[in-house]
Structure formats: structure tokens, C-alpha cells
Amino acid sequence: DLQVNNGFLETAISEKSKKRELRGARVDGKSHKVVWSAVLLLDMVAEKLAAAATLPLVAAHAGNLVIDLLRFFESRARYLVLSAGALNSSARLRTITARHLGLASQCLSLVVALLPHIRATLVAHISTTTDDDPQTETKIVQGLDELQREYLDHHHRILSKFVSIISEMLDTVAKTAMTDCNSFAANVVKNVEAMHSVLSKLLPPEQLQEVFTNIFDLVATKITSIFVDDDGVVSSVQNLATPSSPKQRNAADRKRIADDLRFIVLHLSKLQAVPTSSSLRRLDTFITEKFASISSSASSATN
């Protein structure tokens, strides 16, 4: 594990880490699931900070090295994971998975959590002799502030990528929604649950809730747009109706669509550590108003 106590980095490689298992890094009481490259990065940063603390005259140089190390790590992580550069690298990955993205986001969060400690250590030991540029401290602080913005932007883009993955899935399975709503609903639930299974093991609760609140909003919006045309009419009515289909048959088909869509709401509402959002309640209301009422009207007309 890697811990920060009173502003000092402490590292201890456990037996589990030797087996390349996922390890935790705890900063100010919060745990981050990170990969070995992030631990190696922080070991290198710790060496530079130790040099700055031991020899204040080299603190400014150590600070510049720290900034270069952190910027290099962020840029490579952005290229390899977020931009999928690892597919063409020696890693020979076939795809970038949600787990890769989740681990990358946690590595970034770890560095962001450590930046205040890194800044405080460097500022405390930067030499103020006349041989140094009086603006040295300002430049180091500005460099670290810029790094923090880059890391936060990168992290935000990864969280947005999770939503984009679900959006792409919805666009693909939407083609079957009108003809086989049962398969459509099953695919939506399967993919969202798979995403949740991965991220619930990696992301802290507040980030998990942020991601799935956006995912639920996306699902509700997409489903509504699939089954309602621009005039607010349920599009499935026309697709389900055929010249030889009696009204009772249409009512039964519409009821099945309502049941399939409620299957989505029911299962997404049960995801652990993710509170039911207003988007899912809005989707449930849409199903009731647009399908149940239509089915009831059609059934009444046959009596």
C-alpha cells in the first residue's frame, strides 16, 4: 500500500503486490485502486521530494523534475487509454475496456489528491537565496496548478467516456427496439449491469453515482426518443399495426412493450450504491402514460 501521513509519502510493497494484484493507495483516508505504473511514478516523485527536503538548494530543480514526471504520466495515460493508443503499442491490447478506463481514472484521482502535499513540500524547501530566481516558487506553484487542471480535465473525460460507451450501445441495439423490444430491453440491462459490475469495484461512491446518474438520464432520453416521434405520438403504434391485426392484438403487443421497458427500469433501479434517479422515474411515467393508457383505450374500443 501507499499512504500519505502528515504530508509524507510512505510506500510498502506487500506480498500481494508482488503477484501483480490490484493494490490500494490511501491518501487522507480515501482509497484509490491503482496500477503498478502509478505506484512507480509516486516512488520517483517521493525521491525528488526527499532530495528537496535534504538539500533545499536543489528544491527548485527537484520541483521542475516532479512537474515533468507528472505531466509525462498524464500525457501517456491519455494517449494509451483514453485515446486507445495502447491498441497499437507493445501492450497489444485488443480493446480498451471499462476496467482500463476505471483504473486510469483512479490513478489520476490519486495524483490529484497528492498534489496539495507535493506543492506544500516543494514550497517549504525551495531556496530563497539570492542565487535563485525570486520567481522560482511562483513558477513551481503555477506549474502544479496547471497540472491539476490537466489531470481534472482528463479525469472528467474518462467519466464522460463511460456514458459514451452506453450511448453507443443504445444506438446499436435501438435498431431492434421496434421489432423485438424484449431483446432490446435485455441488451440494455445486460450492458449497464456489466458496466456497473466493473465500476463499482473501482470508483468511489460519489463518482459511481455521478456516472450512473448520467447513464440513467441517457437511457431515459434515448428510449423516449425511440418510441415517440416529433409530434409526441408513440411510434410503435404504427409499426405494430398491420391490416390483418385486430385491435386486441395491438393492445397486447403494446402491453408487452410496456412490460419490457419496465424491465429496464426495475433492474437499473436495483443497482447497488446507485440511488434511483429522477430520470428512471420519468421513464416509468412515460411508459405508463404512453403505453398503458393506449392499451387501455384499445381494449375498451373492442368491448
What confidence score (pLDDT) does residue 91 get? 67
Q: What is the pLDDT of residues 233-267, one digit of tens each?
A: 555 444 444 334 444 447 788 888 899 999 999 99
pLDDT for residue 111 = 97
Residue 234: the pLDDT is 55
Q: What is the DSSP string of the chain?
A: -EEEETTEEEE---HHHHTT--EEEEETTEEEEE-HHHHHHHHHHHHHHHHHHH-GGGHHHHHHHHHHHHHHHHHHHIIIIIT-GGGGSTT--S---HHHHHHHHHHHHHHHHHHHHHHHHHHHH---STTS-TTHHHHHHHHHHHHHHHHHHHHHHHHHHHHHHHHHHHHHHGGGTTT-HHHHHHHHHHHHHHHHHHHTTTS-HHHHHHHHHHHHHHHHHHHHHHHB-TTS-BTHHHHH--TT--HHHHHHHHHHHHHHHHHHHHHHHT-TT-PPPHHHHHHHHHHIIIIIHHHHHHHHHH-
72-106 per-position pLDDT tens digit: 999 999 999 999 888 887 767 788 999 999 999 99
Residue spans of the chain under pLDDT 50: 1-19, 129-130, 230-231, 236-249, 294-303
Q: pTM above the 0.95 mark?
A: no
pLDDT at 118: 95
> What is the pLDDT at residue 126?
83
